[in-house]
Amino acid sequence: MSQQEERRIAAGRMGNVKDTSIMTLKQANTYKEQLKMEMKAKGADVSKLNGDAFEDLTDLQNMDFHFVSVVPIIFSIRSSIES
């Protein structure tokens, strides 16, 4: 579990949420509706979904920020160059 997931859970939010910025609009809207239903079923506060998304926070402070690992991308590029 990532530190961001742990922070979200400690704040009463869903821990493992997907990054909707890499989804199509249709996929993102469908996922958000599914997530809201899941949150309601667990008794979580739906208003906290992306609650800090537009606050003036650093990426590290923002629980809604998704860190992306570039390591797989670098290895993929390196493999294609070496081939």
Residue 31 has pLDDT above 80, yes or no: yes
Half-sphere exposure of 16 (CA within 13 A, CB side): 1
**What are the tens digits of pLDDT across the range 35-76?**
889 888 888 778 777 766 667 777 677 777 766 666 655 555
3 band by pLDDT with thresholds 50, 70 and 90:
confident
Task: Kindly write down the DSSP assignment for every residue of 21-43, as one continuous string.
Answer: GGS-HHHHHHHHHHHHHHHHHTT
Any idea which residue has 């989804």 for tokens? Answer: 23
Tokens of 53: 């998304």
The reported pLDDT for the residue numbered 73 is 56
> What is each CA distance from 27 to 22, 35, 69, in whole angstroms?
9, 12, 22
Greater confidence (66 vs 13) lies with 13
The reported pLDDT for the residue numbered 33 is 92
Mean pLDDT confidence for 6-22: 81
**What are the tens digits of pLDDT across the range 21-30?**
788 999 989 9
